[in-house]
A and B are shown apart, each in its own frame.
Chain A
Amino acid sequence: MKVLHEEGVDTIFGYPGGAVLDTYDELVKTDIKHILVRHEQGAVHAADGYARASGKVGVCLVTSGPGATNTVTGIASAYMDSIPIVVFTGQVNTNLIGNDAFQEVDIVGITRPCTKHNYLVKNVENLARTIKEAFYIARSGRPGPVLIDLPKDMMRSSTEYKPINEVRLRAYNPTYEPNMKQLDRVISLIKKSRKPLVFAGGGVILSGASGELKKFAHVIKAPVTSTLMGLGAFPASDPLWLGMIGMHGTYCANMSSSECDLLIGIGVRFDDRVTGKTSTFASNAKIVHIDIDPTSISKNIPVDTPVVGDCRVTLERLNKLLKDEPKKDISGHREPWLDQVMKWKETRPLTYTQKDIIKPQFVIEKIWELTKGEAIISTEVGQNQMWSAQYYRFDKPNTFITSGGLGCMGFGFPAAIGAQVAFPDRVVIDIAGDGSIQMNIQEMATAVQYNLPVKIAILNNRYLGMVRQWQELFYERSYAHTEMDHAPDFVKLAEAFGAAGLRATKPEEVVPVIEKALSINKPVIMDFVVEREEGVYPMVPAGADITEMLLV
């Protein structure tokens, strides 16, 4: 507990059980806030949402066996998106490990491939050091989840606490400071370039590099696109902003990536949802890739100039070097390129037509307007996620919370709870589908119990919309099991939990419902009955070149 204090832990998301009773018994004696979730998966997503919104390490505590296995999806999601969380799981007594004891599971074995690192504490003398190491590993370098398995007898025994001031690990030493020679190469590529494009990812947000990124893009006069995870890293209101790139990226961003002569990837990992067909991705460009994790570099796309380093530190160094360069060398001759980019932006903007039935895009645009773009938005996974990415214009980092890599339905609502715990006074909205909200709906009880006024906007089309869209396009409209024939009445459901429920069935009801929801100081479900077969466009079929977009 003392170590947790030292690490600045103020909140734990958890669920008690036999193997962690001793830990809980100590926990109540501290001033650490504990949020009792209704399912362990919710605890991990909430810790994850807390971490994404606050930039701190999220913490959760669950019991052994099923408590531990229920955390796996949440851990995998945090791992894919490099989110710093520490998960404490209970374990049976050390002398019972391996005996198939009650509520025993080899959680260290199960989570080995989806944690940055994990531990089984077998000696109470090592406990403090292990916790210290876990927090250090979770937040440093490329962040990620760390799991600590705590056998019950370890929690019952005591030892004298010896302060540990510094963590040094022989085999782990992430590179923050970039190689200056590589930076010189980057500068000379910028000088040669006529059509540069900056391509930002989640690493920019994780390292707190947004300010430096903005400076950098303006100094070299390069338009900016980002991955899903990078939304908010660069202000959407900035004239150099092109929108998201990739499978559901904007026409402008995808065309730019294909036509640019210099692509500067910062804190990205060239995921298949971004690149489409890898052999043709940015094929006219020299590629610079800045990332703290060497394994991300040249994994999917061969890179011309790799720079291993922290995004913020690297951009700081680059901006400093650029100061000494003549302006026309680093940002001259940009007009034809910027004109071209603007032309793409104007001729093929994101678009939809609002008629008699509510369009989901319209709902998100109105949420953006009414929250003045200042809400923390979390999403579930699928169409709701892509429309949020396209139509909510994020100006600030740490305001868009989504399960990017794992694509985990049921993530958004508990993550919103976590974000709301981190920022009790901010507006937090989970944009959901009618399918995914049902995956962790039990957390309504958590939100109500702790008076966390999270708002849920359900884009209700009574389909698993994104899968349906693929069936429409690639499976001859055979909607195999994607119709959610039966769903609860979400308004009544909210009321049953002690929250508020609102519904909009006509376009003119959308704004009043959002306004009303924002005025209620408790959790609210907004049920928007939307156009059933609306699709997310543009769309690049999986594995195709990213300029081969289906545009509505």
Chain B
Amino acid sequence: MSNNENNQKHILSLLVENEPGVLTRIAGLFSGRGFNIESLSVAETTEPKVSRVTIVTREDVNILEQIKKQLNKLMNVIKVLDFKGMPFVQRELALIKVRARPEHRAEILRMVDIFRSRVVDVGAEYYTMEITGDEDKIAAFLELLRPMGIKEIAKTGSVALAREKK
């Protein structure tokens, strides 16, 4: 992962052919050329032969240009979209297992409510919540839960789509 704070975060959305090895080609292109992937998510689109890959990367603008060109050059990549400079919606999903001491339970549930999160599993000592939102929202939620004791989390990478014109 890149340490350079000056490098901006970019979200790339790729339409690719849904074939074995395509993800390796994309990931290999990043590693082989020394580019960084911050997060990556892949799933089929409504067309079963096409998948959408959402990649979050933090590189300077020149390197990003090169990344985009190289991605376009791959035989199985149909389209590369960079969300920079256009309105888009972006979401991540996190599952969070937090210690639920009796004295904290009400507080946890209040936060769940405020953040429009949901409790998806209740155990003797732990609650598991799901939350969706952009990176900042999830980070804020985690920050507030931290004092109660987070046991473990699982988080997806970003998925994003461009906004339709109003």
Contacts and interface: CB of A to CB of B under 8 A. Distances in A.
Interface stretch (B64-72, B82-90, B103-111, B135-143): B64-72
B132 interface: no
A326 to B, nearest CB: 37
A295 B24 contact: no
Interface string A101-129: 00000001100110011001000000000
Interface string A282-298: 00000000000111001
A170 B78 contact: yes
Among A112, A293, A295, residue most surrounded by chain B Cβ atoms (within 10 Å): A295
B17 interface: yes
B76 interface: yes
Nearest to A137: B75
A192 interface: no
B20 to A, nearest CB: 8
A108 B19 CA distance: 14
B77 A295 contact: no
Nearest to A172: B75
Given A108-B21, A295-B70, A113 B78 contact: no
Contact of A112 (B24, B66, B70): B24
B17 to A, nearest CB: 6
A171 B78 contact: yes
B75 A171 contact: yes
Contacts of A170: 17, 78
B149 interface: no
A113 B75 contact: no
A109 B62 CA distance: 29
A298 B65 contact: yes
Among A109, A137, A294, residue most surrounded by chain B Cβ atoms (within 10 Å): A294
A299 interface: yes
B21 A171 contact: no
Contacts of B17: 170-171
B6 to A, nearest CB: 19
A169 interface: yes
A169 B17 CA distance: 11
Nearest to A133: B75
Interface residues of A, number: 17
A248 to B, nearest CB: 27
Nearest to A174: B73
Contacts of B78: 170-171
A112 B74 CA distance: 11
Given A108-B21, A170-B17, A171-B78, A295 B73 contact: yes
B121 to A, nearest CB: 36
Contacts of A117: 75
B66 A113 contact: no
B66 A299 contact: yes
Contacts of B21: 108, 112, 120
Contacts of A108: 21
Given A169-B75, A171-B75, A171-B78, A295 B69 contact: yes
B10 interface: no
Contact of B28 (A112, A116, A120, A172): A112
B76 A171 contact: yes
Among A108, A171, A172, residue most surrounded by chain B Cβ atoms (within 10 Å): A171
Interface in A293-316: 293-295, 298-299
B123 interface: no
B51 to A, nearest CB: 12
B32 interface: yes
Contacts of A295: 66, 69-70, 73
B30 to A, nearest CB: 11
Contacts of A171: 16-17, 74-78
Contacts of A298: 62, 65
Contacts of A293: 73
B91 interface: no
B118 interface: no
A113 B28 contact: yes
A137 B75 CA distance: 9
Nearest to A296: B69
A295 B29 CA distance: 13
Contacts of A169: 75
A122 B78 CA distance: 23
B107 to A, nearest CB: 51
B69 A294 contact: yes
Contacts of B65: 298
Nearest to B16: A171
A116 B29 CA distance: 12
Among B62, B73, B74, residue most surrounded by chain A Cβ atoms (within 10 Å): B73
Contact of B32 (A109, A113, A116, A120): A113
Nearest to A169: B75
Contacts of A299: 66
Contacts of B76: 171
Among A108, A112, A293, residue most surrounded by chain B Cβ atoms (within 10 Å): A112
Interface string A261-299: 000000000000000000000000000000001110011
Contacts of A116: 75
Interface in A128-172: 137, 169-172
Contacts of A109: 24
17 contacts: A109-B24, A112-B21, A112-B25, A112-B28, A113-B29, A113-B32, A116-B75, A169-B75, A170-B17, A171-B17, A171-B76, A171-B77, A171-B78, A172-B75, A295-B69, A298-B65, A299-B66
Interface of A: 108-109, 112-113, 116-117, 120, 137, 169-172, 293-295, 298-299
Given A108-B21, A171-B78, 6 more contacts: A109-B24, A112-B28, A113-B32, A172-B75, A298-B62, A299-B66
